Amino acid sequence: MPDGSGLLLTTGRRRAHTSPNAPRPAAGTAPLVALAAVFTLAQLVLVRPGLGLGWDEIVYVSQVTSHHPAAFFSAPRSRGVSLLVAPVASWSSSTVLLRVYLALLSGLALYLALRAWRGLFPTRVLVTSGAFYASLWVTLFYGPQAMPNHWVAIGALITVGSFLRYHADPSARGALWGVVAGAALMAWMRPTDAVWVAVPLCVLALAGRHGRLLLASAAGLAAGAAEWVAEAYAGYGGLGERLAEASRIQGGLGWHMAVDDQLRSLGGRGLCRPCTGPMPHPVVTLWWFALPLLAAVGLVVAVRARRVLRTVLPLACATTAALPYLFMIGYAAPRFLQPAYALLAIPVADGLWHLVRKPAGQWRPGEGWRPAGRWRPAAAALVALALAGHLAVQLAVLAHTVDRNTESRRDWTRTAGELHRLGVRPPCLITGHEAIPVGYYTGCSSGETGGNNENTTVAEILRTADRVPVAALTGPGGVPPDYARPWPVHKISDLEVRIAPAPRQGASG
């Protein structure tokens, strides 16, 4: 019997037929729990809780801490991550504690997201899809970090899975609430990404006149984006103005061919802007080209099994989630495509299982019904070998990425120590090259008079220098700002640091 066909439910002596399209009853959750536990442990072992905060993390975390000044919060960002980390970051400055909290939370979230798909696909498919997504270096690296993209991916899985369950069985009211919760989570983290993911859902709900599904999707998006929209009117003059400012900061949204940029970023580059340099070795990018092919296999399997919708919908949502980052933005970061990877993982896993096992219950002339699920030994061996190689590549890229990021964050720590030695201690202000991360590690505020993080003026910086220590940083090949040229110059590694003369005696702090 193909997945999703009519089922006979037995409860005691009473039997009743469900809708022909209703999902199968849920199987045990132990494999999903085990997967979530392994994912959590892998984050703690491979990424290590001692990894310092990155640039974007600093922006999000500093909004809710009491031990660091808040960094400039630009128009594209949403407060979801800040609220997510608030239970720990609001009272503790421990990065280790924050990493452990986020790793545990991301493991639990993966379990809940896959649970939303139970009954739509066999447990083995869900475990395989979760394992594929969880084993990507980008998932392992960003799972314990204060970043939004993994959480958009989790919300997308919950939303699409719950949507399909309610579509198949309108009596499943819990699934309807899952649509609301998943859409709210996506919009809470990145409102624009949430809209792109939800486009196919809304189109299907409108075309099929599924009013409750349309209302649930819209309500979830509205609830999650409410704060972002309110902030747009309070701080930017309106929603259109904030969207325009967000577009400007991202280099101007429009037609950009960023497919090659995404390929370059697969080698472990957290942000590819500008995205120049050679492509990674083909072995690093091979899985990226195999992904759509395996998804197509999953689609063929779904057509043959007459359960097309539950495969087409995640494919459609993955496509719309990826479109802006492949064709509308002039730079790349591998984490941007996490929602697409998570949704594609479902049909990919289904396709992989079809390759290694013969279909269940297939009729053959002269043989009758063939036993369910017999292995294809040669294909199984090849798929296992390919997956082992894929995992090895992902872990190698992850190790390289962790080492590089660990070193860069140690550089910020060393710079902060030298600034303390030079007398730049809180309360203080850092401007110039990498002002946001260096300012955070030093315990100072950060300020910029231009660029995407502009939040102050030269006059304000000079007034601040009359009260507290101010340091202007110039990176390699950079030109110091005119107002800081007279200040004493110090060298810290490859940085030039100009520190304003000591504040006047008696000046207020």
Tens-digit pLDDT profile for residues 66-90: 899 999 999 999 999 999 999 999 9
Assess if residue 372 is contained within a domain.
no
> How sure is the predictor about 483, in pLDDT bands with cuts at 50, 70 and 90?
very high
> How sure is the predictor about 273, in pLDDT bands with cuts at 50, 70 and 90?
confident
Question: In this structure, what token pair is assigned to residue 91?
Answer: 């009272």
* Co-location of 425 and 489 in the same domain: yes
pLDDT for res 23: 54
Question: What does the buried/exposed string (b/e) look like for 174-186 if buried means 16 or more CB atoms within 10 Å of the residue's CB?
Answer: ebbebbbbbbbbb
222-231, 336-345, 356-365: least confidently modelled range: 356-365
The residue assigned the tokens 């802007």 is: 273
Range of the domain at 465: 406-499
> How sure is the predictor about 11, in pLDDT bands with cuts at 50, 70 and 90?
very low
> How sure is the predictor about 251, in pLDDT bands with cuts at 50, 70 and 90?
confident
Q: How many angstroms separate the CA atoms of 353 and 349, rounded?
A: 6
Kindly tell me if the per-residue pLDDT of 492 is higher than 80: yes
* Co-location of 47 and 141 in the same domain: yes
* Co-location of 303 and 410 in the same domain: no
DSSP of 48-86, one letter per residue?
-TTPPP-HHHHHHHHTT-SSSPPPP--TT--THHHHHHH
The pLDDT mean for the chain works out to 91
Kindly tell me if the per-residue pLDDT of 8 is higher than 60: no
* Co-location of 166 and 301 in the same domain: yes
What is the average per-residue pLDDT within 370-393? 87
* Co-location of 38 and 150 in the same domain: yes
* Co-location of 117 and 177 in the same domain: yes
> How sure is the predictor about 410, in pLDDT bands with cuts at 50, 70 and 90?
very high
What is the average per-residue pLDDT within 195-217? 96
| Whole-number percent of the chain with pLDDT over 70 | 90
Q: How many angstroms separate the CA atoms of 118 and 171, rounded?
A: 16
Q: How many angstroms separate the CA atoms of 55 and 24, rounded?
A: 45
Assess if residue 505 is contained within a domain.
no
Tens-digit pLDDT profile for residues 98-121: 999 999 999 999 999 999 999 999
What is the average per-residue pLDDT within 310-337? 96
Assess if residue 177 is contained within a domain.
yes
Kindly tell me if the per-residue pLDDT of 9 is higher than 50: no
pLDDT for res 502: 85
Assess if residue 51 is contained within a domain.
yes
Assess if residue 2 is contained within a domain.
no
* Co-location of 154 and 35 in the same domain: yes
Measured in degrees and rounded to the nearest 5, phi and psi for residue 51 equal -60, 125
> How sure is the predictor about 276, in pLDDT bands with cuts at 50, 70 and 90?
confident
* Co-location of 300 and 190 in the same domain: yes
> How sure is the predictor about 17, in pLDDT bands with cuts at 50, 70 and 90?
very low
What is the average per-residue pLDDT within 33-61? 97
Assess if residue 367 is contained within a domain.
no
Angle between helices 377-421 and 338-356 (to 10 degrees): 160
**Pairing between strand 495-499 and 470-474?**
antiparallel
pLDDT for res 123: 94
Assess if residue 245 is contained within a domain.
yes
Q: Which of 321, 356, 391 marks a domain boundary?
A: 356
Q: How many angstroms separate the CA atoms of 430 and 440, rounded?
A: 9
* Co-location of 34 and 143 in the same domain: yes
* Co-location of 334 and 427 in the same domain: no
What is the average per-residue pLDDT within 422-434? 97
Q: How many angstroms separate the CA atoms of 335 and 153, rounded?
A: 10
| Strands of 445-447's sheet in order across | 445-447, 429-432, 470-474, 495-499, 489-492
pLDDT for res 504: 65
Tens-digit pLDDT profile for residues 447-479: 999 999 999 999 999 999 999 999 999 999 999
Rounded to the nearest angstrom, the gap between the alpha carbon of residue 207 and the centroid of all alpha carbons in its chain is 30
Shortest CA distance to 287 belongs to which of 128, 442, 135, 446? 135
Kindly tell me if the per-residue pLDDT of 274 is higher than 60: yes
Q: Which of 327, 356, 385 marks a domain boundary?
A: 356
Which amino acid is residue 186, in one-letter code? Answer: M
Tens-digit pLDDT profile for residues 145-201: 999 999 999 999 999 999 999 999 999 989 999 999 999 999 999 999 999 999 999
Kindly tell me if the per-residue pLDDT of 356 is higher than 60: yes
pLDDT for res 358: 76
Measured in degrees and rounded to the nearest 5, phi and psi for residue 367 equal -115, -20
pLDDT for res 277: 84
Domains of the chain: total: 2
Residue 17, strand partner residues: 8
Residue 391, strand partner residues: none
Residue 432, strand partner residues: 473
Entry pTM? 0.91
What is the average per-residue pLDDT within 11-23? 43
The residue assigned the tokens 């039997």 is: 15
Q: Which of 319, 338, 356 marks a domain boundary?
A: 356
Rounded to the nearest angstrom, the gap between the alpha carbon of residue 428 and the centroid of all alpha carbons in its chain is 33
In sequence order, which residues have a C-beta less than 8 Å from that of residue 486 and are 6 or more positions away? none
Question: In this structure, what token pair is assigned to residue 154?
Answer: 């989790």
Assess if residue 225 is contained within a domain.
yes
pLDDT for res 121: 94
* Co-location of 330 and 476 in the same domain: no
> How sure is the predictor about 373, in pLDDT bands with cuts at 50, 70 and 90?
low
Kindly tell me if the per-residue pLDDT of 131 is higher than 50: yes
Question: What does the buried/exposed string (b/e) look like for 56-70 if buried means 16 or more CB atoms within 10 Å of the residue's CB?
Answer: bbbbbbbbbbeebbe
Question: In this structure, what token pair is assigned to residue 394?
Answer: 């992902």
pLDDT for res 99: 98
Shortest CA distance to 471 belongs to which of 489, 450, 456? 489
* Co-location of 286 and 348 in the same domain: yes
